[in-house]
Amino acid sequence: MTTTTPDLRVAVVGAGMMGADHVARITSTISGATVVAVVDPDTARADAAAATAPGAITAADFDEALAATEIDAVIIATPGFLHEAVLLPALDRGLAILCEKPLTTDEAASLRVLEAEQKLDRPHIQVGFMRRFDQGYRDLRALVASGEHGALLALHCAHRNATTPPSYSEEMLILDSVIHEIDAVPFIAGEPIVAVEVKKPRRNSLAPEGLREPQFVILETESGTMAIVEINVNVQFGYQVTTDAVFESGVASIGRETGLQLTTAARSAVAVPPTFKERFGAAYDTQVQRWVDAAHRGTIDGPSAWDGYLASVVATAGVEAQKTGRRVEVDYAMPKPSFYDLPGVVSPGE
């Protein structure tokens, strides 16, 4: 006789681009999980996302969904400043949680989340820093760790989006976009960020009125590796995220466009993905499958709330650097609690 484990019953909170993508992913690609609820105050958006998940109910808020159906796990895909309001009740109920980045949009809120989580028996929150599941990032991390080409001296990171919505503010360059590099740079370099500085070159006149971008965000790590991040979010042509790593005796690059190269009419071209959904599609799939598998085992398998907290400390310093033009040192309030060292909490790539 074979026994089958019941699917993880997942609520997806936030049915915007990312939330809708996760609903469709769980339904069509991921095994061991079913979307049972889609939560969004915008009923048209909730309905549209739920249409891809047979049997899922829709609800205007998380409480309504909790009251209406049995839920084991939640994916939080609302804007970052709304995460805490879902994280706290989800922790209270002991749900498995995949929280899209950022954990929260400021350090104080991240601390409150850490405190609430540490009242439980083990970490429940995995943070959606999906770049850690991208093969290029993992290869680069392994190359740095191997020491084969000497020390890592510098990283040139380009982070380019086609356009931004009207709600996108200057702070979001750091809190919503560079937050990915704020997590990825320590992941690649194997050491924490200790200082941030922001430089503002000539403004792109194609950016929405009032948005001062592109910007260069300089992240320094403990041993002096410098990552220079070009955040450039109205490039019009598509989505591009590349990293060039400079070692003592070599240079490595990830993220260049690959695939079919068509040469015709005196031109040669490779397609550029339109958005992050396509560029990081495989990484999102791996991340969600590993989170579901880990939830069945009662653990997480990826960046934890501690990683989310570290990123929010750096991001808070980054916003100060952006406002003042100064180099701002990062002050982590505490060492990593042993709670986050539990065996079974695996860092991807390890």
Residues that bind ligand ISE (CB under 6 A): 161, 176-177, 180, 233, 276
Structure tokens at 40: 């969004």
Minimum Å gap between C-beta 177 and ligand ISE is 3
Closest CA to 188 of 231, 246, 234, 236: 246
| Nearer residue to ligand ISE within complex by CB, 90 or 130 | 130
DSSP state of 16: S
Residue for token pair 């799939």: 285
Minimum Å gap between C-beta 153 and ligand ISE is 25
Minimum Å gap between C-beta 176 and ligand ISE is 5
Structure tokens at 76: 């939080």
Report how far apart, in Å, the C-alpha atoms of 256 and of each of 55, 58, 141, 159 are.
Answer: 40, 39, 17, 12
Minimum Å gap between C-beta 137 and ligand ISE is 13
| Nearer residue to ligand ISE within complex by CB, 74 or 77 | 77
| Nearer residue to ligand ISE within complex by CB, 107 or 176 | 176
DSSP state of 98: E
| Nearer residue to ligand ISE within complex by CB, 109 or 173 | 173
Beta pairing partners, 196: 219, 328
Minimum Å gap between C-beta 170 and ligand ISE is 13
Closest CA to 318 of 155, 193, 187, 198: 198
3-state secondary structure of 205: coil
Minimum Å gap between C-beta 134 and ligand ISE is 11
Residues 248 and 23: their CA atoms lie apart, in Å, by: 44
| Nearer residue to ligand ISE within complex by CB, 127 or 292 | 127
Closest CA to 173 of 206, 207, 140, 221: 207
Q: Which residue has its beta carbon closest to ligand ISE?
A: 177
Structure tokens at 225: 């590796």
Is 296:5 a contact under the CB 8 Å cutoff? Answer: yes
Q: Please report, in angstroms and rounded to a whole number, the separation of the first and last CA atoms in the chain.
A: 35
Residues 262 and 152: their CA atoms lie apart, in Å, by: 35
Residues 191 and 151: their CA atoms lie apart, in Å, by: 12
Minimum Å gap between C-beta 276 and ligand ISE is 4
| Nearer residue to ligand ISE within complex by CB, 177 or 287 | 177
| Nearer residue to ligand ISE within complex by CB, 151 or 272 | 272
3-state secondary structure of 14: coil
| Nearer residue to ligand ISE within complex by CB, 122 or 277 | 277
Minimum Å gap between C-beta 331 and ligand ISE is 26
| Nearer residue to ligand ISE within complex by CB, 35 or 233 | 233
Minimum Å gap between C-beta 12 and ligand ISE is 16
Residues 93 and 279: their CA atoms lie apart, in Å, by: 34
CA angle 44, 78, 175 (to 5 degrees): 140
Is 94:121 a contact under the CB 8 Å cutoff? Answer: no
